[in-house]
Amino acid sequence: MCLKSKAIFLDRDGTINEDYGYVYKLSDLKLIEGVTKELTRLQDKGYLLIIVTNQSGIGRNKYTYEDALRFNDGLLTVLKKEKVFITDVFMCPHVPEENCECRKPKPGMLRGAMKKYNIDPGQSYMLGDKMSDVECGQNAGVSSFLITQKNDLHHWVDLILKEDI
């Protein structure tokens, strides 16, 4: 039997980096204070770090898919300099009206990642700043936590690592 991986699914804007609405310019990239420390703690315990992000600005013609890819690449470069290694980024470019399977709260991005990386949902978590993130995780069968305040990420990471013993 093949051993399954455990993962932390992370929303991007508002969870890893500051959310100013339609964030796609590298000049607007600002990491949330303390995020690299918390992600390092998770990665050091063997969790894959996977970003799952709705980017409806693409579907609304606010920016291009290539702009979003450039931003993601820049974000991963900044995180890598801090020794945080993101396994993959799954991105939904659709507007809600398209009713696609990948847009959170639907679980398409998480299910795609679980299949690609042989992830056990029972050992995995979703962290995000919107209820659609929490619902997405629940819809995919993973425990989910809502980040609404500055210290929430630290609190949830403590809880995850306590359960991981």
Tokens of 165: 């013993």
Find out whether 20 is annotated in a ligand binding site: yes
67 tagged catalytic: no
Tell me: is residue 94 an annotated ligand-binding position: yes
Active-site residue, selected from the candidate residues 13, 28, 88, 158: 13
Asked about 11 being catalytic, the answer comes back as yes
Q: Is 2 annotated as a binding residue?
A: no
Whether residue 56 is annotated as binding a ligand: the answer is yes
Q: Which residue, 6, 4, 2, is CA-closest to 160?
A: 6
Q: Which of 11, 28, 152, 164 is catalytic?
A: 11
Of 122, 123, 139, the closest CA to residue 52 belongs to 139
Query: Is residue 70 a known part of a binding site?
Result: no
Q: Is 22 annotated as a binding residue?
A: yes
Label residue 163 exposed, middle or buried (CB < 10 Å: 0-12, 13-18, 19+): exposed
* Sequence-separated (6 or more) residues with CB below 8 Å from residue 143: 124, 125, 126, 137
Q: Is 158 annotated as a binding residue?
A: no
Cite the active site residues. Answer: 11, 13
Residue numbering of the annotated binding site for substrate: 11-13, 19-22, 53-56, 103-104, 130
Residue numbering of the annotated binding site: 11-13, 19-22, 53-56, 92, 94, 100, 102-104, 129-130
Residue numbering of the annotated binding site for Zn(2+): 92, 94, 100, 102
